[in-house]
Each structure stands twice: as structure tokens, then as C-alpha cells.
Amino acid sequence: MKTIKVLIAVFLAWGLIGSAIADHHNVNVAAASGGFPTNQLVGFYKLDESSGDALDSSGNGKTYTERGTVASTTGIIGGESVNVRTLDRPAGEYFSRREELWRAGVTDDADFDVPAGSDFTISFWAKLSSSMSNYTAGGIFSKRNAVSASDAGYTFGLGNINNLTYVRHNSVCDGTATVGDDSASTGIATDAWGHYMMVFTADSTLKTYVNNTEVFSVDASSVTGSLENTKPNYIGQLAYNSQGDIIADVTHLGFWSKALDSSERTALYNSGKVLAPASSTAITQKGEQSVFQATFLGAYGGETDKLVSLVEEFSEKGFEWRPAEGIRSVHEAVLHVTTANYGIGSRFLGKALPEGINPRELGKTIKTREEAIAVLKDSIQFVKEAVGSLDDAALAEPIKLFGSDSNRMGAVLVLGGHAYEHLGQLIAYARSSGVVPPWSQ
């Protein structure tokens, strides 16, 4: 119990679960205990059929037609078995709604349209396949002609970047303004399950949550018009005129004509025995992520994305700025973070260093701004892969951490805290030297 309290204190101090705590702060206890949000539910698809069409379990009768032969397989989520469907758009295996009628000139139904001033939420569990080509992406749920600035509608997809799952093409467009369409790291490896949710609040924000933790937020006040269009809906295609490359196991996909609040999001995430998140004390099966891993990697990915984006704002000359003689410059601070990532990741997490990387020599070999940014990005990826490779037993393995008794989880927390510490340092450097952080521009 003492160890648990210490870990929670460390997490809170470093902010690694700050956004999750904020979401849970006002949770309705009855709802969070398992109540599934049904208010304004338009359609819900367990995708547990052995074959054929995707049936609507909400009772609203909004069936999606199978395209090709969408395989059925067994997924393990939260330690429980569940039947899921495997979307494979490159092989022509996906679902669409009313596509034949639309092609015949019959106006599609507007159940999944979003009028001006209206909110919506999309939610699903997915396991992105490592068989997807690197740097490709595709849609999980969409209603849009294409992904250009003039195409009203919405898309919600995932992408593979170096065997990590990225939220991709999570966007809304009213035909004039588009928000989203950006990449956000989830910290979840390919071939591992995660829960994904996109919440649009009209004239306000577009937010994306992974395992009930916010990983992406964008100002959507510029989207004031309707998202309505006459195109079909898709499960497994990016848009009507943009197929995408998604290959993923998917289950429990839902669409609500409202922005789910924090208690509803938590209830949805926790709903059902099969889909309840695995206990942090449970032994994680190989290839799955524990709650600790998913929480850490999600938060670490978000904060290191901020760190990189901030560093990229400094010019070549700005990289040499230091607050006073004898204190690290921007360049030296960046290399300090990089050295720690490689050093701690290899020494305490057991991941082999990439060929040609010697953490102690980076200050001698990395000379330019571009080199420093590139090696920083590589070191962050190194940490993500190291943490993602450790199951619960490995995380609990005792180690001596800088002379103190700890375990590998302790080393992971040190890496997280170190990144946050120097993000704060570089924010201060930026403000003091006239550099505006990108999130404040």
C-alpha cells in the first residue's frame, strides 16, 4: 500500500495523469460504475457478428452493409474474449451505409449528419495492425466526400508510424473551415488494444481521448456551419473519394448526437465486463498494454509532442541562447534530455541502444540545431518502445535506481518526470528570449 501511495504521489506531481484525474473529478458514481450512456445514441455496433453486415445493437435499426468479406476474429480486451471484425480497406473489406441507394440517386438518410450548432461523439475500441505500411492511415468512422477543405463532414481514423498508433484525420469541416486532420501520438503500439473517442462541441472544441485520457484538443470555433452532406457513412473507409489504408480489429463503435460529458465518457470507457480496463495489479498478457503503460505512454506522448514543437520554434541562433554564463543553453538542454532518454532507457529498461548512439558522446557529435532535434525525436521514440515492450512482471522487476531500491516502473517515472522538468525549463527559456510557444500563437 505504501508503494502504491508513493507511485500515485509521483504521478500527480509530474502531471502524468492530470488530465485523467480532471475527467474523473466530477464523475457520477452510479454512472461510472458501469452505466452505459444511451441518451442521444444514434447507432452502436458491437461488430461481434461471425460474418455479414454490421448490425445496430442500439435498437435503431441502422445497419451497415458488408463490403467484401470482413473477417471475424477473437480479441482479448481487459483480459476477456470478445468477437470483433477486422477492417482491411486495402483488401476491400469494410462497411458502408446506404451506398447503393446513394449511387442510385436516392438521398441518404440524415441520421449521422451533424447540423450547424450540433455536437457529436464517436467512440470505439480498436487494435491497429502492424501489417499496415509505415506512415499510412485510414478511417474508422466517416461521413465525408473527401478530406479537402471544401468537403463538409467528419472523419475519425488511425495511422501507423513506426509501429505506434497515431490518431489521424480526426477532423470536422463545414465546407469552409476544417479543424483537426493532424497526427497525435497515442503511445499505444500496433497490435495492442485501445479505446478511442472524438468529441465535438459546436463552435468550441474538437477533442480526442485515448483510454479516457485527452491526447488532442483543437479550437473549433471557426467551424460554424453545417457538417451535413449527402455522402454515405463508412466503417473502415476514410471518405467517399478517399479509401485510406486502415487495417484494424474494431469493436463497440458508437455515435451520439451530443458531446458526452466526463461522467458519460468514463461510464462508456468502463462499460461492460469484457471492455472494462484491466486492473493495474493484473498480469498483462504479452502483446497487451497495462493501464499503467497506456496511461504513461498517452501522457508522455502528448507532453513530448509539446516539447518537440517548442524546440522547433528556436532558430539556429536561438539554440545557443542561455540565461547566464555557466547555465545550459537551449542546445545543451535538448541534448541533456536526449542523453537521459537513451541512458535510462538502455540501462534500466533493458532496451539496446541504436547503432552509433553513445549517450555520453552526444555533446561532442551533435553540433547543429537540425541534428539535435532529430536525435531528440529518436530518443523519445526509443523511450516509447522501451516502455511498450515491458509487461507487468518486467515493470515490477527490482533494480537499483541511482543507488536506491526501486523497480523498472520507477525508472519509467523518472523518464516522465525528467521530460516534464525540462519542458518547463525550455518554456522559461522561450519566454525569456522572445520565442512564443506554438500552443500560445
Tell me how many domains the chain contains: 2
Closest CA to 41 of 111, 106, 118, 109: 111
Say yes or no: 242 and 311 in one domain. no
In a domain, residue 35? The reply is yes
φ/ψ (deg, to 5) at 413: -65, -35
Whether pLDDT at 328 is above 80: yes
Query: What is the chain's mean pLDDT, rounded?
Result: 83
Task: Output the pLDDT for position 13.
Answer: 41
In a domain, residue 349? The reply is yes
In a domain, residue 195? The reply is yes
Q: Is the pTM of this model over 0.75?
A: no
**Residue span of the structural domain in which 378 resides:** 291-440
CA dist., res. 179 & res. 192, Å (int):
28
Share of the chain above pLDDT 90, in %: 48
Burial of 425 (0-12, 13-18, 19+ CB in 10 A): middle
CA dist., res. 381 & res. 405, Å (int):
27
Give the H/E segment covering residue 394.
helix 392-395
Give residue 235's pLDDT band: very low, low, confident or very high (50, 70, 90).
very high
Say yes or no: 266 and 399 in one domain. no
Answer whether 117's CB lies under 8 Å from 202's CB. Answer: yes
Task: Output the pLDDT for position 30.
Answer: 29
Say yes or no: 329 and 402 in one domain. yes
CA dist., res. 356 & res. 368, Å (int):
17
In a domain, residue 279? The reply is no
Say yes or no: 63 and 205 in one domain. yes
Residues contacting 77, CB < 8 A, separation 6+: 125, 193, 251, 274, 275
Please say which residue of 235, 270, 305 terminates a domain.
270
In a domain, residue 277? The reply is no
Closest CA to 246 of 256, 234, 255: 234
Say yes or no: 259 and 295 in one domain. no
Q: What is the CATH number of the domain that holds 256?
A: 2.60.120.200
Say yes or no: 349 and 200 in one domain. no
Say yes or no: 263 and 310 in one domain. no
In a domain, residue 211? The reply is yes
Mean pLDDT value of segment 256-265: 91
In a domain, residue 6? The reply is no
φ/ψ (deg, to 5) at 82: -150, 140
Task: Output the pLDDT for position 15.
Answer: 44
CA torsion sign for 315, 375, 188, 183 is positive
- Mapping DSSP to helix (H, G, I), strand (E, B) and coil, where does residue 356 land? coil
Say yes or no: 69 and 213 in one domain. yes
Say yes or no: 315 and 422 in one domain. yes
Q: What is the CATH number of the domain that holds 372?
A: 1.20.120.450
Say yes or no: 149 and 259 in one domain. yes
pLDDT (tens digit, 9 = 90+) per residue, 109-165? 577 999 999 999 999 999 999 999 988 999 999 999 887 778 899 999 999 988 889
In a domain, residue 13? The reply is no
